[in-house]
Amino acid sequence: MAPPRRRWLLGGLILVLVAGTVVVMLWALQRRLVYLPDSSPVPPAGDVIAGARDVTLHTADGLELGAWFVPADPTEDTGMAVLVAPGNGGNRAGRAELAEELSGRGLAVLLMDYRGYGGNPGSPSEDGLAADADAGAEALEDLGFPADSTLYFGESLGTGVVAALQARRPPAGVVLRSPFTELADVGAHHYPWLPVRALLRDRFPVMDHLAASDVPVTVIYGQRDSVVPTELSARVADHAPSLAERVVFDGADHNDAVMFGPEVADAVARLARRVD
């Protein structure tokens, strides 16, 4: 074999080996890219939100998870609650302002943290987060808020969590903040050079879970989302069978203050009034 041909074959073999190594590493480490928990313990609920209290969620696979329950403002009480399923980063302390806004609109709130977040045991996965959400819904029922008196609020990755939860335990309504069609679509957008659809273990198929649902859905997203492409959120709203409202914040990115503030709480309150 001529030396140039051998060099080409050797170079090709090295490229294949490097690419294979990268794919294997991404397969093994992918959940570290999907889940970005702040695992540090959080303070007692009452130290952060007046009147709030700590609750413990008991999952079907034997974990005990910390969460915060925030009662509704008694002067505005609607008799409804909101289960907040957060995104893939931080912990419940970072959602305190949203909980206070919702409470002020007469809605009780359960701020949950997934396994591995906020000092909770365990490691996150799609099945694990599903079990955590079931435990959150059960805790709210024990607190006097059955599913038909509850709204599920999912933020980013949490939209995948609550989309699946509403198929198992239909609530009064669902709010999807920065939803995606399925997680693989987000990964393919950010890593177009990788076979994301073949590699991804945790799928979170939001649109599949909504396809046969008659639960009223509010979809909220920013017009310039750099994390979840805006067109994916728009597609969820376009295809939601029971769309109650679409709220689009002009010029807003994924983690801008408006995405956690009073305008979002207003949209949740409007859905609560609609389904009451």
Q: Report the C-alpha gap between 183 and 200 in whole angstroms.
A: 9
Structure tokens at 198: 């073949």
What architecture is the 43-275 domain classified under in CATH?
A: 3-Layer(aba) Sandwich (3.40)
Do 91 and 45 touch, CB atoms closer than 8 A? no
**pLDDT on residue 5:** 61
Helix (H) or strand (E) holding 2: none
Give per-residue pLDDT as tens, 79-90: 999 999 999 999
Share of the chain above pLDDT 70, in %: 88
Do 65 and 59 touch, CB atoms closer than 8 A? yes
Domain ranges for the chain: 1-30, 43-275
**pLDDT on residue 16:** 45
Give per-residue pLDDT as tens, 148-190: 999 999 999 999 999 999 999 999 999 999 999 999 999 999 8
Do 268 and 107 touch, CB atoms closer than 8 A? yes
DSSP one-letter string for 79-129? SEEEEEE--SEE-GGGGHHHHHHHHHTTEEEEEE--TTSTT--S---HHHH
How far from chain centre, in Å, is Cα 18?
A: 34
Higher pLDDT, 152 or 1: 152
Lowest-confidence pick of 69-78, 126-135, 150-159, 181-190: 181-190
Structure tokens at 202: 């945790």
Q: Report the C-alpha gap between 161 and 135 in whole angstroms.
A: 12
**pLDDT on residue 199:** 82
Total-model pTM: 0.89
Closest CA to 150 of 219, 200, 79, 212: 79
Q: Report the C-alpha gap between 222 and 200 in whole angstroms.
A: 26
Res. 22 pLDDT band, cuts 50 70 90: very low
Q: Report the C-alpha gap between 154 and 7 in whole angstroms.
A: 53
**pLDDT on residue 40:** 84
Residue by residue, what is the 3-state secondary structure of 192-248? CCCCHHHHCCCCCCHHHHHCCCCCCEEEEEECCCCCCCHHHHHHHHHHCCCEEEEEE
Q: Report the C-alpha gap between 21 and 17 in whole angstroms.
A: 6
Give per-residue pLDDT as tens, 214-239: 999 999 999 999 999 999 999 999 99
**pLDDT on residue 8:** 57
Lowest-confidence pick of 25-29, 102-106, 210-214: 25-29
Q: Give mean pLDDT, residues 40-44.
A: 91
Asked if residue 13 has pLDDT above 70, the reply is no
Structure tokens at 163: 């989309």
Q: Are strands 150-155 and 64-70 parallel, antiparallel or unpaired?
A: unpaired
**pLDDT on residue 29:** 54
